[in-house]
């Protein structure tokens, strides 16, 4: 047995695969954490939705709403 390691050179290959899997797992975990703190990609409001919400709240008047809507579209 090669130096008493038991699995021979297969142990080294499996260890490389193990560490690659660990690194990939850490990368995916970090990406997931970053996305969840930013609200994720699916929760982003479009500019038109923000404009409609501001108009509905009374933050902008009809003239400004129509002008900005025209600029967006």
Question: pLDDT tens, 44-58?
Answer: 678 888 999 999 999
**What does the pLDDT average to over 11-26?**
92
Q: Report pTM.
A: 0.44
Which residue bears the tokens 């499996």? 14
Give the per-residue pLDDT at 40: 52
pLDDT at 11 over 80: no
Using alpha carbons, list the distances in angstroms from residue 38 to 31, 33, 44, 54, 55: 11, 9, 9, 22, 25
Give the per-residue pLDDT at 26: 97
**What does the pLDDT average to over 20-43?**
83
């Amino acid at each position: 047995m090669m130096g008493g390691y038991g699995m021979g050179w297969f142990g080294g290959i499996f260890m490389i695969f193990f560490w690659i899997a660990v690194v990939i797992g850490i990368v995916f975990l970090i990406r997931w954490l970053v996305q969840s703190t930013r609200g994720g990609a699916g929760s982003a409001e479009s500019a038109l939705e923000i404009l409609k919400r501001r108009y509905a709240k009374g933050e902008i008047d009809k003239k400004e709403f129509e002008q900005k809507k025209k600029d967006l579209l």
